[in-house]
Amino acid sequence: MTKMIVGWKEKAQLKQLGLNSIKVKVDTGAKTSSIHAFDIKTIEKDGVSWVKFKTTPLRRHPKRVFECEAEIVDYRKITSSNGQTQSRYVIRSPITIGSETWEIDITLANREKMRYKMLLGREAMENILVSPHEAYMQSPKD
């Protein structure tokens, strides 16, 4: 299979979560992907645990809030780059970058102060190669 080449940042879609555009930092140093989430609440749907959360995926429009919900597929302890360990909900969603779509696990984290509201971690990079000197190789820049 030919691997897709991506830049260190790309635009992505998480349509299952209602997010048609989110800038993603491709982070080979992170094992797990994560997305900015706040106001996180757990709910039950037909005996299955789900999570409802809010996110602000558009850096230039911080007051544009999106409400998302997804089934909880795991709960993991994640150690951040500054050494702090947190327990986080894990959801699974299809991601689209360029013309490719595949399922990834995403942790919910407070990334409010981060420039990129989503990180794409190594677990989600099985079929991609990263060109660290390029950006938006699979998506048009604003």
In a domain, 48, yes or no: no
Alpha-carbon distances, residue 46 vs 49, 71, 74, 105 (angstroms): 9, 11, 18, 22
pTM of this structure: 0.92
In a domain, 138, yes or no: no
- How high is the pLDDT of residue 131? 95
Q: Which residue has the higher pLDDT, 81 or 112?
A: 112
Alpha-carbon distances, residue 124 vs 11, 34, 46, 71, 120 (angstroms): 15, 11, 29, 18, 7
Where residue 10 falls (left for φ over 0; alpha for ψ -120 to 50; beta otherwise) is: beta
In a domain, 113, yes or no: yes
- State how many domains the chain has: 1
CATH of the domain at 118: 2.40.70.10
Q: What is the per-residue pLDDT across 58-91, written as a single tens digit (0 to 9) for each?
A: 877 878 899 999 999 999 988 877 788 889 999 9
